[in-house]
Amino acid sequence: MAPSEASPLISSAIQQSATPEAHIAQSRRRTILLLLLYLVFLDLGYELIMPAQTRVLERIYCRIYYDDHDYGLHGGDANGGIDERLCKVGVIQSEVAMLKGWQVTLDSIGMLVFSVPWAHVADVRGRKPVLLLLTSALFAKYAFVQLVCFFDGAIPLRWSWFSALHTVFGGSVTVATALIYTIISDVVPENDSFLPGDGRDDRYTVPWSAHKRSTNGLEPLATNGPWPGC
């Protein structure tokens, strides 16, 4: 059949062959965007919560210490608590450092033990279920620590060490990082990638760009305390 004015400029065969490629490219961009948002969510949450959590722990230890040694110092700050400068004594800081140090140690032991098994599960059962599981476990970990702090020393702060059990469910941050890099490597073809360092390889630049952007501008937040009323 001879072409006419109503004939399409691109044949249907070419259109059909181009449609799957366009769909794959769109799906690839959507996956990378979701991973970018996931990294921003994790990094931003971690960078915000850690300085605030340290100050809350310090404040609780400070109150307990001065309850026993000099109760008259209560009410020294605007919130009716103890002046933060008085909480910088060695006894209080050593308690905070020990609590956080053992927390890091227990978390690290859990990650060493459970990272490889959960990485294997991700290869066999799929990466998305493992990523969702460990994200839920991380949320439960930080929620439990905040719950312990909520009681303001009525229960021992060392109970927060039990939050290291979150590594049993997913392997924690090490598995999350490995899965993110693996997923990016899967969705970005090698022929679209370049050597790391020239700024054009999505498999390398996406995670680092997300981390950099998620932490920009957080420093001023440390000047006004962990949160209002603390």
What's the token pair of residue 117?
Answer: 């098994």
| Other beta carbons within 10 Å of 219 | 10
| pLDDT tier, 33 (very low <50, low <70, confident <90, very high otherwise) | confident
Cβ-Cβ contacts under 8 Å for 132 (sequence gap 6 or more)? none
Contact of 28 with 121, CB cutoff 8 Å: no
More confident residue, 16 or 158: 158
| Other beta carbons within 10 Å of 160 | 23
Which residue's entry shows tokens 């439960």? 140
Contact of 141 with 84, CB cutoff 8 Å: no
What's the token pair of residue 72?
Answer: 């008259």
Distance of CA 54 to the CA centre of its chain: 17
- The per-residue pLDDT for range 130-169, each reduced to its tens digit, is 989 999 999 999 999 999 999 988 999 999 999 999 999 9
Distance of CA 167 to the CA centre of its chain: 14
Residue 91 has a pLDDT of: 93
Of 50-54, 75-79, 150-154, 187-191, the range with the lowest mean pLDDT is 75-79
Number of H helices, E strands in the chain: 5, 0
Residue 209 has a pLDDT of: 54
Residue 217 has pLDDT above 60, yes or no: no
- Model confidence, pTM: 0.71
| Other beta carbons within 10 Å of 73 | 16
Residue 197 has a pLDDT of: 47
**Overall average pLDDT of the 99-117 stretch:** 94
- The per-residue pLDDT for range 47-59, each reduced to its tens digit, is 788 888 999 999 9
Instruction: Identify the CA nearest to 169 among candidates 121, 215, 211, 101.
Output: 121
Number of residues assigned to the chain: 230
Residue 102 has pLDDT above 90, yes or no: yes
Instruction: Identify the CA nearest to 67 among candidates 81, 53, 78, 57.
Output: 81
More confident residue, 23 or 84: 84
- Tell me the one-letter amino acid at 199: G
**Cα(203)–Cα(157) distance, integer angstroms:** 41
**Cα(110)–Cα(164) distance, integer angstroms:** 7
| pLDDT tier, 35 (very low <50, low <70, confident <90, very high otherwise) | confident
